[in-house]
Amino acid sequence: MPKLQQIHRMDNIHRLFFKAFSNQTRLEIIQLLKKKPLTVTEICYKTGFEQSRVSHNLRCLEHCGFVKITQNGNSRVYTLDEETIVPIVNLFEKHIQKYKLRLENCWVIKDV
């Protein structure tokens, strides 16, 4: 018998995809890749983040389908899947403009 799973239109999987966006490292990487594809080394240089930190987080982004990898010599070029990411981010824009100030009182914030 297969594991019964309730069908929610919006289930836990959603949470995991949102989580991919909710972390500073990954979000900065996404920002950079919005401009153009980059190798791991380039991302490290531009962000100042350590290499393994970048690699670990890229792996997550790849599993989530947010980035695609192509090999180029001995380096790997990461490309953003713009088709899905950009619209999601843009949708947030509108909401954010409106509520950004109230966010200051939200307990999930520690650093703004």
Partner DNA sequence: TAGGCATATGATAAAATTATCATATAGATT
Partner DNA sequence: AATCTATATGATAATTTTATCATATGCCTA
* Residues at the contact surface with a copy of itself, assessed by CB under 8 A: 8-10, 12-24, 27, 30-31, 34, 56, 59-60, 63-65, 84, 87-89, 91-96, 98-100, 102-103, 105-109, 111-112
User: First and final CA of the chain: distance in angstroms?
Assistant: 49
Of residues 29, 34, 68, 57, the one with CA closest to residue 45: 29
User: Residue 44 or residue 89: which is nearer to a copy of itself going by CB?
Assistant: 89
- 22, 94, 112 from 104: Cα distances, Å: 17, 17, 7
Of a copy of itself, DNA, none, which one does residue 37 interact with (CB within 5 to 8 Å by kind)? none
Is residue 39 a contact point for DNA (CB under 7 A)?
A: yes
Burial class (CB in 10 A: 0-12, 13-18, 19+), 105: exposed
Rounded Cα distance between 112 and 109, Å, is: 7
- Hey, which residues does 69 pair with through a beta bridge? 78
Between 73 and 95, whose beta carbon lies closer to a copy of itself? 95
Cβ proximity to DNA: between 3 and 94 the closer is 3
Binding site for DNA (CB under 7 A): 19, 22-25, 39-41, 49-53, 55-59, 69, 71, 73-76, 107-108, 110-111
